[in-house]
Every structure is written in C-alpha cells, then in structure tokens.
Amino acid sequence: MKITVIGAGNVGATCAQLLANDELANEIYVVDILEGIPEGKALDMYESMPIRESDSKIFGTNNYELTKDSDIVIQTAGLARKPGMSRDDLLVANADIVSSCIRNAFKYSPNAYYIIVSNPLDVMTYVSLKVTGLPRHKVFGMAGILDTARYRSFISMATGYSMQDVQALILGGHGDTMVPLPRYTTIAGIPLTDILSADKIDEIVKRTAGGGGEIVKYLKTGSAYYAPAAAAVQMVESMVKDQKRILPCSVLLQGEYGYNDLVLGVPAVLGKNGVEQVIELKLNDAEKALLKTSADHVVTTNNEAMALIKL
C-alpha cells in the first residue's frame, strides 16, 4: 500500500502521522509546494516510527514523480479559513490549487482512489472528478465523518454517555447548510429524541453546523486539523482493510435523493473498491427541504468553481 498526502500543512501532516501510526501503508509520500517543509516533517515522523512500533516509511517531496503508482491519494493542499471566513471564501484560491495538485497526482497515479479534504469540500470534490474524469467510486470527499464526529462529541458532552455509543448521521453539503438527522441518531440503540429535549437537540445541531467556525475563532491563524485528519484516515482504514463501513462521505450523486451530477454528503459503503454503494434513506418532507437548501447552495458554488478552472 502506497499512500500520497498532498499538502504538508496541518491537515496533511496529521493525516500522514495517523496513517503511519496505524501502519495503514508501507510507504507514505507527503507532497507540498514549500521547499524543505515536507522533507523535514516526513523525516521527523519517520524517526518516530521505531517508538510507535510501525514499519510505515514516510517521505516528503516537492516532486510528484515519486508518488507514482500510489493506491490512495489524500488531497489536503490549499488555503485554510481565518476568522470571519466561510469555506466558500476559499473557492477562488483552492479551485486553482486543487485542480493543479490533482492533475499532477493523476498523471503519475491514474489508478489511485482520491480522497478530497480541501475546502469548500463538495465543490473541490466535484472539481477533482472533472479534472480526472474518474468515476465516482474513485474520487470522493471527507466531510460527513468530521461533521458527525463533532455532533457525536456534543451529544456525549450533553448526556455524559460514551461517545462510542453515539451513532449518528449527517447529510448534505459541508457547511452551514449541512443536515444533521436527529431521527437517525441513537445512543446505544436508544433514539436521541427519547433522551434529550427538542430544544437541546436543536442547540447541538446548530453548534455542529458551526463546529468548524468555532475552532477557527479560537485558532485565529487557521482551521481544525486533528478531527479532519482522523476522519480522512478512517476512510482510508475502511478501504485498506475492506471493512465496508457505512460512513457519511461526499459522493457524486447519480439519481440518489433526486439529484444528479452533484456532490453531496450521503451514507456510503467504503471498501477496497472505494465507494461501493450509496445508501438512500427515506427522508421526511422537512429533511428533504433541508437537503434541497444544501444542494442548491452546492450547485451555485459548483458553477462558480467550474468557471474558474480549465479542463
């Protein structure tokens, strides 16, 4: 297993470290445009492997040629948010960065699976699909696991019950219009709606939608990276071990939920063949309306992005 992480910044370096700690790949290449940073961070991580008792080898480079024949590529390069910015404010810069990074990686790894992490996530995943021309099971985005993890953390904080027992699902775009589904949220099989009041659930849903912004406000110079990296690595693990976990991922819809040619967060089965199935839930009218608002927002941003890049 050879995995390339594009971007040696906060998210990329943390992804590489988690992948190596869990020995999910024999070789991990971290690529960045900055000189020295990917090499230095990779060597530092490499030197931590004897302590971690892992045989993963981590290399840093500016040269995509070394990433040749990667099995999985994780795209994290791009600008991160600063306070007051929405993910969409990154569109112009990141459409350019993501399309060029993916083009470079695809040249050397045409058979890889691509996990997109750069924001605005759904749109950057759409751009990556168009740049590579790959089918949807090979190019998809990380957002839902992160949003769900935030939601699960807040539910655990509010109830005092183990985070491990909180099961939840979030649909839609990765932004303020995301659609948490309290109806599909349980704690050890008990519906959340039996445990918390509607007001409390509403408060948690709102905090989840603004969860990324909450971290940006504290950090001031960048955005979250521990949870985003952990989420991307969970996707890799499900693929590498062919676990077939059902995880919320950003996938190109082809008729599911009534949408076509649009990347949205939906429950997907992840295995050795990437996205092996998209699971369609029976949404009620209120949930459908929330998903539509989210979809409309992503469509508008997609159109702006496609006008910015040359295919």
**Residues acting as catalytic residues:** 174
Contact between 11 and ligand APR (CB under 6 A)? Answer: yes
For ligand APR, the binding residue among 118, 125, 132, 186 (CB under 6 A) is 118
Q: What character string, x for contact with ligand APR (CB under 6 A) and - otherwise, covers 23-52?
A: ---------xxx------------------
Q: Which residues contact 219 (CB under 8 A, 6 or more apart)?
A: none
Cα-flanking dihedrals φ and ψ of residue 30, to 5°? -110, 120
Helix and strand element counts for the chain (H, E) = 11, 14
Report the residue number, 196 or 229, with the smaller CB distance to ligand APR: 229
- For ligand APR, the closer CB: 97 or 278: 97
Contact between 115 and ligand APR by CB under 6 A: the answer reads no
Please report, as residue ranges, which positions from 142 to 161 form the binding site for ligand APR (by CB under 6 A): none
Smallest separation, CB 7 to ligand APR (Å): 4
d(CA 141, CA 158): 29
End-to-end alpha carbon distance in the chain: 30
CA–CA dist 59, 154 (Å, integer): 36
**Of 113-121, 159-167, 168-176, 246-254: span binding ligand APR (CB under 6 A):** 113-121
8 binds ligand APR (CB under 6 A): yes
Shortest reach from residue 202's CB to ligand APR, in Å: 26
**What is the distance between the alpha carbons of residues 107 and 104, in angstroms, rounded to a whole number?**
5
> Cα angle vertex 61, ends 55, 63, to 5°?
125
User: The sheet that has 190-191: what strands, in order across it?
Assistant: 166-167, 186-187, 190-191
Among residues 109 and 118, whose Cβ is nearest to ligand APR? 118
Nearer to ligand APR, 34 or 289 (CB): 34
Q: Which is nearer to ligand APR, 123 or 205 (CB)?
A: 123
Q: Does 175 bind ligand APR (CB under 6 A)?
A: no
Residue 99 sits in the site that holds ligand APR (CB under 6 A): no
Backbone region of residue 244 per phi and psi (left: phi > 0; alpha: psi in -120 to 50; beta: other values): left
Q: Is 78 in the site for ligand APR (CB under 6 A)?
A: yes
What would the two tokens of residue 263 be?
Answer: 């990347």
Q: Which stretch in 95-103, 174-182, 230-238, 299-307 sits in contact with ligand APR by CB under 6 A?
A: 95-103
Q: Does residue 29 contact residue 97 with C-beta atoms inside 8 Å? A: no
**Residue 20 is a binding residue for ligand APR (CB under 6 A):** no
Q: Judged by CB under 6 A, how many residues of this single chain contact ligand APR?
A: 28
**101 and 124 Cβ atoms separated by less than 8 Å:** no
Question: Of residues 215-274, which lie at the interface with ligand APR (CB under 6 A)?
Answer: 222-223, 225, 228
Burial tier of 128 (Cβ tally within 10 Å: 0-12, 13-18, 19+): buried
Q: Which residues bind ligand APR (CB under 6 A)?
A: 6-12, 32-34, 76-81, 90, 94, 97, 100-101, 117-119, 222-223, 225, 228
